[in-house]
Structure 1
Amino acid sequence: MAYEHKGKHLIAGDWIGSDDSFDSQPVTGPALSFAAGGAEEVDRAARAAERAFSTYGNTSRAARADFLEAIAEEIEGRGAEITRLGCAETGLPAARLEGERGRTTGQLRLFAAHIREGRHLDRRHDPALPERQPLPRPDLRMVQRPLGPVAVFGASNFPLAFSTAGGDTASALAAGCPVVVKGHPAHPATGEIVAEAIAAAVARSGMPPGTFSFVQGTSHALGGALVQHPLIRAVGFTGSLAGGRALFDLCAARPEPIPFFGELGSVNPVFLLPAALASRATELGAAWAASLTMGVGQFCTKPGIVVAAEGPGLEAFTQAAARAASDVAASAMLTEGIASAFGRGAAQVRSRPGVTEILNAPAEGRQAGPALFQVSARDWLAQSALAEEVFGPLGLVVTASGPEQMLEVARSLKGQLTATLQLDEADTDLAREFVPVLEHKAGRVLVNGFPTGVEVADAMVHGGPYPASTNFGATSVGTLAIRRFLRPVCYQNMPERLLPADLRDD
């Protein structure tokens, strides 16, 4: 299905312009103009979402599941154009975008199957005990109910899986919540064509037009207006620590605070335990470099820090990593701003006391190549800035004096999305000391792998203690993500005819 550029917001089924506009900044091809919205467009979209909620929030699970599957089909029908636009805007290769599109549609279908079975509802029933002494017990029934309209912020690094129809949108719609998406300006045409697909599914499924809206713009005011609108009941966000924290604070400062589910930043440390390092140093070095540089290092699960004890194994590891990384050509980053920030971040790491350079590939303009550095654990522990994420293909090797200092590094970590242990059988006793530390720090603990690549599944957790995310009890990937946009309601002595359909015995 050919893409017809509109350059407008989609609000309750209508394509609407604004007085202001912005131009896209594609890696290839011509720039396109898009409407830049503000408080007026947000208000219109939020009011439409609130009107839709009275109907959409009470649709059957089967109807919502059919709707999610219709979105997947509409996206697939535009697959070739989505890939073309995504490649032009982001510089990501076609294979990556095609895989991400499959992940996006697969996620929609997984959520559809999940809600058809009612597995997200956590239904509970305590029957009345009228004869109980000293007091009778009333009939109590509990079920999870949708929150209301949800705001979703598209991510720069995943134009499909974490953006317009990505995990936050899919999970909110699965829960029964209308969604207002703020598209990311890094890929406005990609966002627009996916919004078009969702609008087609809304019409095809007979859902209220306000079930989904899509607004675009580059100003902080647009995001602020969205999270502060009194009809928005929750926010899903994937992005920078600074941007996410600012929006989180606005949510908390509202007269009626709302939950902000933000995935912010993580360095995803990898701990090389001694036996594994001794037996697999070269293999591990090459594998780390491959994971670190995947997608020009623009994955939220990029393993940015490796921690290992000094010794010949470590030297072999760093040499192998440098060789593998040096074979990775510089590539375009998602935006000029991201590339500039990466350059500044690499320069700041290089200037820190005790940091030595392993590899520094040339970078120019929007192009960036791998940068590898090394620092002692003592110097790393003394400089908290070295534990902060640098978005892009930058890796830091932290050299410890031995396992005890490696554990000291682990204990010092802030919240992470992931933490990884590379271990062999002989490392098992030492690993037992690391596991309770790392599970306290991260939402996902891996053994003998690398964290890039997040499986969409029931058991997946993509979140973690702050600053990895703003809500350590939630995940933005997997079926548990739906629960973010639900709340438990108890019905006491409620006649069955008045209960929500999901609690009735019929």
Structure 2
Amino acid sequence: MSDDVTGDVSAGMEPDTTTTGLHDVLRAATAAADLAAESDPGTRARWLRAVADALDAAAPVLVPLARRESRLPDARLAGELARTTAQLRLFASVALEGSCLEATIDHPDPEGVPPVPDLRRMLVPLGVVAVFAASNFPFAFSVAGGDTASALAVGNAVVVKAYPGHLELSRATAEVVVSALDAAGAPSGLFAVVEGFDTGVALVEHPAVRAVGFTGSVPGGRALFDRAARRPDPIPFHGELGSLNPVVVTRGALSARGPELAAGLAASFTLGAGQFCTKPGLVAVPASSEFDAALVAAVPEQAAPMLTPGIRAGFAARAAQVLAVAGVRVLTGRPPAGSGGDDGPVLPLVVEADVATVLGATDMLLEEAFGPLTVLVRYADEGELAALVAALPGSLTATIHAEGDEDVDGLVRACRAVAGRVLFEGWPTGVAVSWAQHHGGPYPATTSQHTSVGATATRRWLRPVAYQDAPQHRLPPPLRDHDPWGVVRRVDGVLQVPAANGGDAAPGAAG
């Protein structure tokens, strides 16, 4: 991915939030975070639903702003805004259900070895969370996106660093969010947006900030990750960076449905001009296949605009690096012109190489190209395929296309080692927002083991605290004998699901 930290040409043109302004925002956020940490799940759910309703109502204003700043079509943006409000409502449900807090009670057991005192543990909010908005999803991974929703759901305050290419949209979205939170009775300062390259760096280094969520490029994310780690008090940096998203096609799958696979690949890697974090960037196919002609026929010849001039320039440079590798051959398309002033649309680009070529140039061919480019890699046998998969960097996804009678257990294990989501008979573009979703992977896909999409995204903004032999009135509500919040808890090793969450509140009701 790309963002202002990596040198997007618009980065130096944005108006910075002043140092005084940033301090004021963080002072208010700190006070709001203290209040939010004491709020009950029903209150936080009401805040999130109020924001979702307000954003839905503001769609006629927000979608045209997003179109002007992102160049994305109205239908895509309207769907993305609907996804954004749906995930706000999902996190309202996550807050109410309460298992994200991991409330756990162990009653005293003097016969234990060693003896067990009264221990009660739960996850508590970190405080002020900084979120860096993404370039390619102006709603869903931006001001009111999943990072913001998941952090608010568990009682944190949020300060968003706006993406420089979406400043008008970011300001308008922030106005909607702040107004909705105020009307819902949320603490003043619970949410804010700041702007500016230097402001983003200062945000990561500010002692009031307790964690960071970032969606962007490997160089930009790594630079901020290192700053977060070098603080006198290092903080978690949950970065989604670059992902190759490899696809493996077996001989059986190619023989059974080669043209179908070619059409699916063409649609997936060109979706949104290849500017999806889950775009398949490398596809391993048998060396003897007739896949080329079907893929070339399926790839659209229509050029598409990229999100910003800076992203286009980055794609042109990356494509040139790939094509400079000896042994790489163009199957269809052509690289975009790389001049700084050229901002025209780009054609999809498919190149091919053999495994030896890839393994001899991993620094060039096993890195993400953020744009409509994919690399077909020819493997001669399963030994070559295993060597290729073993060399792959961490990715958000890995996809396997195989027939039911093929033995791919080893391949599944190898893909699991390098990816956070393993797909079968599908394509990685498109990330459902649900309880079971995981959107993350080994570095450089992410700097964290936690997901940025789905219910468990809340885990990034929480830390555990245990209370020993505490009086009832000193305990947080979910850890008292009679929980007024009614969340899912584990008591003496047995999961309890209250009736409000579809279970029986009695101890031992669910195991």
> Which TM-score applies when normalising by structure 2?
0.89
* Structure 2 partner of 1:63: 43
With 339-348 and 327-336 compared, the bigger mean Cα shift is at: 327-336
* Structure 2 partner of 1:374: 352
* Structure 2 partner of 1:3: none
* Structure 1 partner of 2:231: 254
CA offsets, 1:123-166, max 9 Å, x none?
1111013x437764310001110011000000000000001010
Residue 42 of structure 1, CA deviation: 2.2
Q: Count the aligned residue pairs.
A: 467
Give the counterpart of 2:99 among 90, 99, 119: 119
Q: Which secondary structure does the structure 1 equivalent of 2:209 belong to?
A: coil
* Structure 2 partner of 1:455: 432
* Structure 1 partner of 2:451: 475
CA change 1:136–1:397 in 2 (3 A) is closer
Distance 2:194 2:133 in 1: 11
Residue 288 of structure 1, CA deviation: 0.2
2:133/2:142 contact within 8 Å kept: yes
CA change 1:38–1:240 in 2 (3 A) is farther
> Which runs of no fewer than 5 residues in structure 1 stay unpaired?
1-22, 26-32
User: Within 5 A, what are the aligned runs for 1:155-194?
Assistant: 155-194=134-173
1:53/1:177 contact within 8 Å kept: yes
Q: Which secondary structure does the structure 2 equivalent of 1:150 belong to?
A: strand
Distance 1:115 1:412 in 2: 40
User: Within 5 A, what are the aligned runs for 1:26-425?
Assistant: 35-129=15-109, 131-132=110-111, 136-217=115-196, 219=197, 221-311=198-288, 314-315=289-290, 317-325=291-299, 327-361=300-334, 363=336, 365-384=343-362, 385-425=364-404
Residue 34 of structure 1, CA deviation: 6.3
1:268/1:303 contact within 8 Å kept: yes
* Structure 1 partner of 2:477: 501
Distance 1:34 1:416 in 2: 32
Q: Which secondary structure does the structure 1 equivalent of 2:189 belong to?
A: helix
CA offsets, 1:400-425, max 9 Å, x none?
11122111111111111000001112
Percentage identity across paired residues of the two chains: 45
Residue 285 of structure 1, CA deviation: 0.8
1:122/1:143 contact within 8 Å kept: yes
Structure 1 stretches of 4+ with a deviation exceeding 3 A read: 133-136, 361-364
Q: Which secondary structure does the structure 1 equivalent of 2:51 belong to?
A: helix
* Structure 1 partner of 2:487: none
Residue 210 of structure 1, CA deviation: 1.1
Distance 2:168 2:58 in 1: 13
CA offsets, 1:188-241, max 9 Å, x none?
111112111110121111111110010122x2x221100000010000000000
CA offsets, 1:234-292, max 9 Å, x none?
00000000000000000000000000000000110000011001111111111101100
CA change 1:274–1:58 in 2 (3 A) is same
CA change 1:137–1:92 in 2 (3 A) is same
1:175/1:483 contact within 8 Å kept: no
Distance 1:464 1:362 in 2: 29
Residue 39 of structure 1, CA deviation: 3.1
1:182/1:214 contact within 8 Å kept: yes
Residue 504 of structure 1, CA deviation: 2.1
CA offsets, 1:80-116, max 9 Å, x none?
1111111111111111111111110110101101110
1:330/1:361 contact within 8 Å kept: no
Distance 2:352 2:193 in 1: 44
Distance 1:198 1:490 in 2: 34
2:144/2:177 contact within 8 Å kept: yes
Distance 1:372 1:136 in 2: 64
The one-letter code of the counterpart of 1:161 is A
The one-letter code of the counterpart of 1:113 is S
Distance 1:133 1:373 in 2: 64
1:24/1:34 contact within 8 Å kept: no
Q: Which secondary structure does the structure 1 equivalent of 2:101 belong to?
A: coil
Distance 2:19 2:286 in 1: 54
Residue 45 of structure 1, CA deviation: 1.4
Distance 1:235 1:73 in 2: 26
CA offsets, 1:321-380, max 9 Å, x none?
21222x241121111000011111111111111000111247452421201100011110
* Structure 2 partner of 1:438: 415
Distance 1:52 1:140 in 2: 29
1:359/1:372 contact within 8 Å kept: yes
1:354/1:379 contact within 8 Å kept: yes
2:316/2:335 contact within 8 Å kept: no
CA change 1:416–1:134 in 2 (3 A) is closer
> Which runs of no fewer than 5 residues in structure 2 stay unpaired?
1-7, 337-341, 483-511
Distance 2:439 2:287 in 1: 32
Distance 1:257 1:58 in 2: 25
The one-letter code of the counterpart of 1:367 is P
> Which TM-score applies when normalising by structure 1?
0.90
Q: Which secondary structure does the structure 2 equivalent of 1:379 belong to?
A: helix
The one-letter code of the counterpart of 2:94 is H
